Chains A and B, each alone.
Chain A
């Protein structure tokens, strides 16, 4: 139906999920199926002297036990690659099973395959590994200190890469002539993604045809096929079919190619039976790629009027024990490029060192680099307000890129295509009743209220809609980041759409159907959306980087252009009119100026398939594919404001209000967009107040369970107040920008700014997340509270 874009169509995928009929990886059972359990290192760093498998192999019900040596002695590639290379980067090999050294607690050393998973688990305990413990290092700054334990000979000082962007000289000059400078050392806390569904896979190798079918929890089945074909398995791509069934959340953690799916595939190839591997929850915590973990020194320079002259940042970014799929891109091109924020900053220089540590690898997690950049910029802006005596609102306003200055070229490579930063901030100020909040704060402070009120503001930008392929190729991506869309119109007029953007909770089945229904003026129920299967979808790069609507949706839109163009040719032939005079409107083709002459969509589609009377040279059928390559990133932005109340006697923080004004461009389904904002906020607030993945110095993950790692619960969160401004993206056909990550990008800075604001009477200038009661209580009492 035209006009269906912009309406809150209920998510069509939810019915099955809500009644437990969604089929996830672990719900699939194949005949003769076996179960694998991976034996993992309990040490953060150790040499493997020997792996004895005899006792495990003799355990009743065990089919086979394999070690890293067995992988090396086989024909498969046996290593997982990184998909993003930077100049001078050190990329030590990441074997799917370790052979001589383990580098983090959770590194796989052997795999047991058995008739059921309980037998496999029992037998895994019988594998005897003789480890010789080595000194470990888990802190990113400790890892680059003199005398730190070294992870790889080929990466001296544990440094994988030393990357920089921007003009160092111009930035230094800006600091030389500044009236005000502010500097801060800050940490961005390490996070564990915690998708509800743990990772898992089911590999089935057919040794007669040489074909591998792999069900796997992935956000990007084609990318998995590519990486597995090229590196970990060495199987021909056309002999591999990768299926992502229902996937229960990912937040980035299911982008990456992990050793585990290659191990299960290897086992299936060895024993000739299907092999299922499903991670336990604690295994997921140990081995999922973690997020964030930066240590930064950041400085900002301003003139006497509070106009920013320059920004300088040096960041040590933990990579963990090996380079995961997109790991090198996250603290560089998804981080350094965003350090201009919403501001007109003439000179910026950023240096990032990628550092190996004896921890789980670190890679993209909701926001991926952009929450880290926003945290740096928005903390510095608040500190600069304090230094210059300007209000946190005024300093932002003075430095925003003006609405009339787009496109705006930043000092860190990106060209912002559109924006209206004052507009979003004005709306957020209005919605929050900002002036009244400040007045209340003043009143309560003067009255000596022991409940400390804090107001936080964060104006954020992100670059998403990943990504223009030529640009990312020049920056080191080992793949393009376009998307495919295939529109198959059936003879009776209903439509199946195939997208390479593989949903795992985002609602593609609804949103993409709305795009098609809107364009063809058909009912949403006439559209089926297929994704997550390399056997059905031509190709695709997957779902991450808030790219599905902007890139995947645009691919469907351009495929629809082709479908309409072809059907118009047929309609013109049927109407005996010139093609140029035929317009498609309200589910029918009309001859311009002759209202009586028209052909319904259904008749034209049927004619395409009957092929009794087609224009000369036109092929029968109606099915078109488009590969859409975006010409730029998209740049969603917004301003968020929150109110916290801190109990000065206990240090506990209560988040009382959270106002989010986002500009994500045109909105296809407002309900789904709101849902994405809510989810992102919950995760970002979680990072700010509770979540922290903690390792001991010798490499043990101390927050390995949900008892020790605090994810937000519903009752911890206020009723979110959301609104939008709409500045359409000027360069894609739908005018959409992306919303999946916005909440998690803005909110850590919003909440931290509010807590620091509440504590400012105690002289607190900065605090690192998570802002636990203990830290806050100490900050209050250190300063005479």
Chain B
């Protein structure tokens, strides 16, 4: 499975770089993430609670960042396993200046196995896109807040408290992802409403 894309932050590259290396921030913006902590230099462990279709459970995993080129890129190795199966991914994160803003490019190539692959594979792509998007949106808030604080000349002020997305938000995002992929733009509004309702139902029935 390949996950790739990009996201533009309205902030200078150094600030984005600091943010994407901050374990507290990462722990907060990853949906379903628990006990995320730094256990060595650029090595983190944590637990990710995930739900993909009918498959749910906890992944225990490690994230190792290597080949850090400050403030522009690093490689990552993500390994997780648990009752729903396993994930083993390798990827790269890259930051580029774009005028005053910063473009974050990411790509991860992940092997996924076990129940999550044999039962949940149909929903895997959409789920991983949703997780990624929610994480990026969380990061964006963080970066924006930090940038605002820096702009006010008061770098000491803490960023706003962060909350991981709720289950309902996840369901809504998941449905949005499916709609984006499957439905032509003009028919989206009413379908999205129905889809949201269905998504919440599916989500509730899995929990």
Contact = CB atoms under 8 A, between A and B. Distances in A.
Contacts of B88: 133
Interface in B66-86: 81-83, 85-86
B113 interface: yes
Among B85, B111, B113, B115, the most chain A Cβ lie within 10 Å of the Cβ of B113
B113 A698 contact: yes
Interface stretch (A86-94, A363-371, A596-604, A700-708): A700-708
Contacts of A124: 83
A702 B119 contact: no
B8 interface: no
A698 B110 CA distance: 12
Interface string B100-144: 000000000001111101110110000000000000000000000
A398 B56 CA distance: 61
B57 A282 contact: no
Contacts of B82: 125
A696 B117 contact: yes
Nearest to A42: B114
B83 A282 contact: no
B113 A105 contact: yes
B113 A699 contact: yes
A285 interface: yes
Given A42-B85, A42-B86, A133-B88, A700 B122 contact: no
B123 to A, nearest CB: 10
Contact of A286 (B81, B83, B118): B118
B112 A705 contact: no
Contacts of B83: 124-125
A700 B112 contact: yes
Contact of B119 (A44, A125, A133, A282): A282
Contacts of B81: 42
Contacts of B85: 42
A131 B85 CA distance: 12
Interface string A434-459: 00000000000000000000000000
Nearest to A106: B118
A43 interface: yes
Given A42-B86, A43-B113, A702 B121 contact: yes
A708 B122 contact: yes
Given A42-B86, A125-B83, A708 B113 contact: no
A43 B118 CA distance: 11
Nearest to B86: A42
Nearest to B55: A282
B118 A282 contact: yes
Interface string A681-723: 0000000000000001011111011011000000000000000
B126 to A, nearest CB: 14
A700 B117 contact: yes
Given A42-B86, A133-B88, A705 B119 contact: yes
Chain A interface bracket (under 10, 10 to 19, 20 to 34, 35 or more): 20 to 34
Q: Give the size category of B's interface with A.
A: 10 to 19
- Which secondary structure characterizes the binding site on chain A? loop
Contacts of A282: 115, 118-119
A105 B115 CA distance: 10
Contacts of B57: 125
B111 A698 contact: yes
Interface in A390-438: none
Given A105-B113, A282-B115, A43 B86 contact: yes
Contacts, number: 51
B112 to A, nearest CB: 7
B118 A285 contact: yes
B119 A704 contact: yes
Nearest to A701: B118
Interface string B27-63: 0000000000000000000000000000001000000
A616 to B, nearest CB: 71
Contacts of B117: 42, 105, 696, 700-702, 704
Contacts of A699: 113
Nearest to B113: A42
Contacts of A702: 117-118, 121
A487 B121 CA distance: 54
A247 B7 CA distance: 57
A753 B163 CA distance: 60
Nearest to B58: A125
B56 to A, nearest CB: 11
A696 B117 CA distance: 10
Nearest to A39: B83
Contacts of A286: 118
Nearest to B54: A705
Contacts of A44: 113
Contacts of A705: 118-119
A439 to B, nearest CB: 43
Q: Which of A42, A699, A702 has the most CB of B within 10 A?
A: A42
A133 B81 CA distance: 12
A286 B114 CA distance: 10
Nearest to A702: B121
A702 B116 CA distance: 10
Contacts of B114: 42-43, 105, 700
A702 B83 CA distance: 18
B25 to A, nearest CB: 30
A286 B119 CA distance: 10
Nearest to A286: B118
Nearest to A125: B83
A131 B112 CA distance: 14
Interface string A35-49: 000000011100000
Interface in A256-298: 282, 285-286
Interface string A11-51: 00000000000000000000000000000001110000000
B111 A42 contact: no
Contacts of A700: 112-114, 117-118, 121
A282 B112 CA distance: 17
A704 B122 CA distance: 10
Interface in A40-72: 42-44
A342 B112 CA distance: 47
Nearest to A703: B118
A330 B119 CA distance: 29
A689 B111 CA distance: 30
Most chain A CB within a 10 A radius of its CB, from B81, B85, B117: B117
Contacts of A285: 118
Nearest to A705: B119
Contacts of A708: 121-122
B115 A42 contact: yes
Interface in B81-103: 81-83, 85-86, 88
B180 to A, nearest CB: 21
Nearest to A133: B88
Contact of A704 (B86, B111, B112, B118): B118
Contacts of B111: 133, 698
A696 B1 CA distance: 11
Given A105-B118, A704-B119, 4 more contacts: A42-B114, A105-B113, A125-B57, A704-B121
> Nearest 5 CB-CB pairs, A to B?
A42-B114, A704-B118, A125-B83, A700-B117, A42-B113
6 contacts: A43-B113, A131-B86, A133-B88, A282-B119, A286-B118, A702-B117
Interface of A: 42-44, 105, 124-125, 131, 133, 282, 285-286, 696, 698-702, 704-705, 707-708
